[in-house]
Amino acid sequence: MSEEYKRSHVFGIDYGTSDFKYGPITIGEVPEVTENRGYFTEKSSIMSRVMGVSRDIVVGKELPLFLESREDVAERLVYPMRNGIVERNDVKAWQVTKELTRYALENFAPSDPDFRGFYVVASLAVVAPRYMYEQLFDIFGELNTERMLVRAATIIPQPLAVAIAHKIPTCVVVESGHGNTQVCPISMYPIRNAVLALNRGGSAANVLTSEILKDTGYGDLAKEEKLVRRVKEQIGLLPRRLEEAIDFARRNPDKVKREIRIEGTRIKIDLGDESWTRFLIGEYVFNPGHEIFQSYFKRGMPRPSDVKIGDTYFYGMTDMAEAIIQAVERCSIELQPHLYSKIILSGGNFNWSAPRELEGVAVTPDEKIRVMLKEKGIENIQATVAREPTYSVWRGCIVYGYAVPYDFKWRWERMEGWLNYA
Amino acid sequence: MDKPVSNIKLACRFYQEPGGWERVSLNLSSNGWIKIGRRVVKDELEIEYAVESIDGLEILLSLKSRVGFPNVEMFKKLLECLLTDCWYIDIYYCFSFRNINVENVAKELGLHLNSNEVKRLKLGGSEILVETYPSVGKIVVSHRVGSRDIGCIEKIYSKLFRKILINEVSQH
């Protein structure tokens, strides 16, 4: 097998907390995306037999076709990586992970005699323990029993993939997805002792959006998670400073007001006089500890809690700037200014835009981080949002797979190289 | 029919000694391209540098066009410029189709491909690899070009891509 073969058969997989992104090097800049979940079918039911459903687990784009009642969904729909970590003995979660991996590879495995398997670069949360690496390597091996899908594989932490995609060897990567946020200082390799994980991501903002919808008379819609997510993406705003933004919204209600329509339905959403709450959605992602959110917590909205999963603590309420400071301050003093000077914001939870008519009031995530860090006495920082932040981990996987020579063998002590299955 | 979204990757190979992005971007700059960090732009085209192999003998570039798919003349000029530095270039064109049966598209292009099949064609003296991935609605076309066979680009455009790009293929 040659270097040339490897370069044209690199395959990236980003095991995100909500979305699973995958695809080979040849497909360009945007991977395929499906939800990181699987549905365990009820094979014994008479309808399953009549309809010819023979699979135990359904994953991928056709999954919604198999969903049954809400009670069944709660029991049989498994999201294996809600926090980025799969428990060692969580059999169902590992089954789903295996099926999704198979689904991704089979979608792109060419039926060509010259095909000898992909060089797979998988990416896991930086807090993923070693047993997750071992189990994933086992899965790649098991998938080769029927045909060679995986020629060789390697696994890299998601923040490192982002740094690789941007070719920045010394930086802080803040990777914020649906279920968690990882703050990871990098100096050639991730500085694992300095990593800080937050138990919140885009899903926390969905919860708040749902409360806002209830308060404005759309309680019936607030139960539909997908719809709430779409509403969040369309109306959510990130304020430079929350108090100033609310004041602006109350003085200029027409500038903040926005009606949205849900495509393919008759649904229209207009927050009316409560349009100032659009700013709360963005603020909550960055700073859920702001006193304005106390009223929501008092009315029963769940507060992002501190949890311990495996050996890792995920903090719920730490604000984004504080999380960066805590992570950086665990590194050597000499390194700290270099880390502050390159902060990369990546992941779907940093997809916030600032409309021109709200310039100076609503900001982009890099500007928000700059403002928050400045208020805490950190200056001379350079924060950038990754281009299309949702896909930057997958792109990093592709870049890494392309660059690492095909004969560079996997080493557990450094966690790098290819584990060969040929 | 929806127009397909296209993505082009260029794997530029250097002869025996490492080349690198600096060399390539310098060459492009002297041919009217404007360098902005890891990107160079000219008219409707934008090239983004993705990665360099560890031995320095190959770099991977992404090519985007503001008008969807690059004009054949501009694309040819770009390749000629790159080939003053490079030994050869492997070009990967990925077409993504929404709501279209890719097998039908392939069939109408005269390829008669089944699921995830790979076909090797000869066009303008070059071997063209065509791969179809119906479950994800994609067709990947790839071929190698050196300075002596640059003329194949026009043939590939007129015989293969024209049908896709001017919507000659139908949905059924």
So what's the pLDDT on residue A45? Answer: 64
Find the closest chain A residue to B53 by CA distance. A403
Nearest alpha-carbon partner for A339 in A124, A156, A170, A220:
A170
Q: Which of B38, B53, B140 shows the shortest C-beta gap to A402?
A: B53
pLDDT above 80 (res B87): yes
**Is the CB of residue A399 less than 8 Å away from at least one CB of chain B?**
yes
So what's the pLDDT on residue B170? Answer: 47
Q: Give CA–CA dist A365/A286, Å, rounded.
A: 9
C-beta atoms of B62 and A25 within 8 A: no
C-beta atoms of B8 and A25 within 8 A: no
pLDDT band for position B108 (50/70/90)?
confident
Q: Where are the domains of chain B?
A: 5-165
Q: Which of B7, B8, B54 shows the shortest C-beta gap to A403?
A: B54
So what's the pLDDT on residue B139? Answer: 87
Q: Give CA–CA dist A248/A224, Å, rounded.
A: 31
| Two structure tokens written together for B129 | 């690899």
Percentage of chain B beyond pLDDT 90 is: 34
Q: Where are the domains of chain A?
A: 3-157+391-420, 201-303
Q: ∠ CA A194-A197-A228 to the nearest 5 degrees?
A: 155
How do residues B9-45 score in pLDDT, each as one tens digit? 999 999 888 888 989 999 999 999 999 988 999 998 9
C-beta atoms of B38 and A167 within 8 A: yes
C-beta atoms of B53 and A29 within 8 A: no
B102 or A90: whose pLDDT is higher?
A90
So what's the pLDDT on residue A153? Answer: 97
Chain B closest-CA separation from residue A105 CA (Å): 11
> Residue A190 belongs to what H/E stretch?
strand A189-190
Q: Which of B51, B92, B116 shows the shortest C-beta gap to A110?
A: B116
Chain B closest-CA separation from residue A71 CA (Å): 30
Percent helix, strand and coil across chain B, each to the nearest 5: 25, 40, 35
Find the closest chain A residue to B8 by CA distance. A28
How do residues A209-230 score in pLDDT, each as one tens digit? 999 999 988 888 887 778 898 8
Contact A132, A85 (CB under 8 A): yes
So what's the pLDDT on residue A73? Answer: 65
Chain B closest-CA separation from residue A396 CA (Å): 9
> Which chain A residues are within 8 Å of B117, Cβ to Cβ?
110-112
Chain B closest-CA separation from residue A10 CA (Å): 13
> Which chain A residues are within 8 Å of B94, Cβ to Cβ?
26-28
Q: Give CA–CA dist B113/B103, Å, rounded.
A: 6
> Which chain A residues are within 8 Å of B116, Cβ to Cβ?
108-111
C-beta atoms of A111 and B131 within 8 A: no
Q: Which residues of chain A have pLDDT under 50?
A: none
Which of B38, B47, B49, B51 has the most A C-beta neighbours within 10 Å, making it the best mutation to test the interface with A? B51
Chain B closest-CA separation from residue A338 CA (Å): 20
Q: Give CA–CA dist A165/A393, Å, rounded.
A: 7
Lowest-pLDDT range, A114-128, A341-355, B98-112, B117-131?
B98-112
Nearest alpha-carbon partner for A331 in A227, A188, A123:
A188
C-beta atoms of B7 and A27 within 8 A: yes
CATH of domain A3-157+391-420: 3.30.420.40
Give the CATH number of domain A201-303; options: 3.90.1150.10, 3.30.420.570, 1.10.3720.10, 3.40.50.150. Answer: 3.30.420.570
pLDDT band for position B172 (50/70/90)?
very low
C-beta atoms of B94 and A30 within 8 A: no
Q: Following DSSP, what letter does each residue of B112-154 receive, concatenated?
A: ---TTBEEEEEETTEEEEEEEEGGGTEEEEEEEEEGGGTTHHH
Q: Which of A26, A107, A108 shows the shortest C-beta gap to B92?
A: A26
Average pLDDT over residues B83-96: 92
Find the closest chain B residue to A399 by CA distance. B51
Q: Which of B52, B94, B116 shows the shortest C-beta gap to A27?
A: B94
**Is the CB of residue A29 less than 8 Å away from at least one CB of chain B?**
yes
Chain B closest-CA separation from residue A248 CA (Å): 37
Q: Give CA–CA dist A109/A9, Å, rounded.
A: 10
**Is the CB of residue A254 less than 8 Å away from at least one CB of chain B?**
no
- pTM metric for this prediction: 0.88
C-beta atoms of A112 and B117 within 8 A: yes
